[in-house]
Amino acid sequence: MRVAVARFGTDPDGFDAACQLLASRPDDTLAVADAMLAEMLADLWERGWTPADLLHVLGRKLRAGSIAVAAERIVTDADDRLARGQALHPVWRGHIERLRSDGRRSPEPAAVDVSRSLLEVLGVVSRLPDIPVTVPPPGDLRSGLGRGVRLDERMLTRVRALLAKAESTGFDQEAEALTAKAQQLIARHAIDEALLDRGEDVGEPSIRRIPVDDPYASAKAHLIAEVARANRCRVVHTPDLGWVTAFGYDHDLAAVELLSTSLLAQAAAAMARQGVRRDAAGRSRTRSFRHAFLLGFGQRIGERLRLAAEQEVVVARAENDRLVPVLAAREDRLVAAQKRAFPAVRRRATSVSHPAGWTEGQAAAEHARLDVTAPRLPGA
């Protein structure tokens, strides 16, 4: 069994041979593999992993049948814990309920197929590293890892409406103006929320993971990093696992997720309007063009989002001299949190091999005027 697990992903022929050998005793193999996975899941949850994290990584590496088997075992693990009276964080429960509701159940596969799927899952799980904790593991009674600020629903409704319009328009200038207005609303509300802190009691930042996959994963991560910077957050890209880890205060992190999702959709639409690209010899340059386009778009949209946010800071600073020390104290906590989680993080340089793509990407983020004025929310 352990030989098969060790060979998965490194020795395909050896893995197949081990699976064939184990197939002669499918029931015994299934029982032992189930026990091994239960043990590994318990260990993973203590090392920062959640059901959503694990299924995201498995989805990048395994076939659908193996992912379904893993999902079923994760639900069983949660049910067993609940039956023993073990507490599950609300976010954790949400992951499990989504797995239950996803389940359009396919016909039950044969034991030998389930055994092979479990061996594939074990092959991936056995190599997973420790990751920063974003949700307390089962049995941990902490309510959360951050301040747990609830976002203003009126503000969210307005922001979502602005971003929906930005995503639906075919005019880059209009999309930019709508997105900038959404950023100003978010920034104003974030400032009001930050000023609720008293003295040096700014609390601890939270951590979230934002999936980012191919195609153009590094360029997408760059765009998310620019949005994060505009909203006083920090991100670390982990390409092997297919996500960025974002550090920030809850309101700011929610803004990053909301804006990043919208901007990636807007960038994809703008890229599609550019069509395919070929060089003088007729060879496709579309992939390099789109990679460069996303980099250019992200760099310029980051500058413009920061300008929109900084305008709100200037206004708020004139009204309340507590803002600067509060934001400085939060930044210190953010730096410390990132260093604890990633003490050896390295900066990566991203190259642009298609100058026209970079130029067009910047242009798609450049045209709009950002001097819109976002009215303050009633009661904010």
> Residue 374 — pLDDT band, cuts 50, 70, 90?
very low
Same domain, 119 and 222: no
Dist CA 262 CA 268 (whole Å): 10
The one-letter code for the residue type at 266 is Q
Query: How much is the pLDDT for 235?
Result: 96
Same domain, 114 and 164: no
pLDDT digits (tens, 9 = 90+) for 22-35: 888 888 888 999 99
The DSSP call for residue 208 is E
Sheet holding 234-238, edge to edge: 206-211, 243-248, 234-238
Q: Which of 5-9, 233-237, 358-362 has the lowest mean pLDDT?
A: 358-362
Same domain, 160 and 56: no
Q: Does 131 map to a domain?
A: no
Same domain, 267 and 165: yes
pLDDT at residue 367 tops 90: no
Dist CA 318 CA 352 (whole Å): 41
Same domain, 359 and 227: yes
End-to-end CA distance of the chain: 60
> Residue 140 — pLDDT band, cuts 50, 70, 90?
confident
Dist CA 251 CA 235 (whole Å): 15
Query: How much is the pLDDT for 177?
Result: 86
Average pLDDT of span 324-344: 92
Q: Does 143 map to a domain?
A: no
Please tell me which residue, 149 or 120, carries the higher pLDDT value. Answer: 120
Query: How much is the pLDDT for 377?
Result: 29
Average pLDDT of span 133-160: 76
pLDDT at residue 236 tops 50: yes
Same domain, 218 and 359: yes
Please tell me which residue, 344 or 312, carries the higher pLDDT value. Answer: 312
Average pLDDT of span 351-368: 53
Structure tokens at 134: 């974003």
Same domain, 97 and 176: no
Q: Which of 107-116, 208-217, 274-283 has the lowest mean pLDDT?
A: 107-116
pLDDT digits (tens, 9 = 90+) for 248-286: 999 899 999 999 999 998 888 888 888 777 766 767 777
Q: Does 219 map to a domain?
A: yes
> Residue 345 — pLDDT band, cuts 50, 70, 90?
confident
Please tell me which residue, 23 or 209, carries the higher pLDDT value. Answer: 209
- Identify the domain containing residue 55 by its residue range: 2-125
Please tell me which residue, 176 or 365, carries the higher pLDDT value. Answer: 176
Same domain, 71 and 205: no
Average pLDDT of span 99-103: 80
Query: How much is the pLDDT for 26?
Result: 80
Query: How much is the pLDDT for 376?
Result: 32
Same domain, 315 and 272: yes
Which of 89, 106, 125 is the endpoint of a domain?
Answer: 125
Same domain, 176 and 288: yes
Query: How much is the pLDDT for 243?
Result: 97
Q: Does 346 map to a domain?
A: yes
Angle at 153 between CA 148 and CA 155, to 5 degrees: 105
Q: What is the mean pLDDT of the chain?
A: 84
Query: How much is the pLDDT for 23?
Result: 84
Please report which helix (H) or strand (E) contains residue 235, including its range: strand 234-238
Q: Does 6 map to a domain?
A: yes
Same domain, 99 and 164: no
Q: Does 380 map to a domain?
A: no
Q: Count of domains in the chain?
A: 2
Same domain, 354 and 257: yes
pLDDT digits (tens, 9 = 90+) for 309-325: 999 999 998 988 889 89
> Residue 102 — pLDDT band, cuts 50, 70, 90?
confident
Query: How much is the pLDDT for 248?
Result: 96
Q: Does 377 map to a domain?
A: no
Q: Does 166 map to a domain?
A: yes
Which of 106, 125, 144 is the endpoint of a domain?
Answer: 125
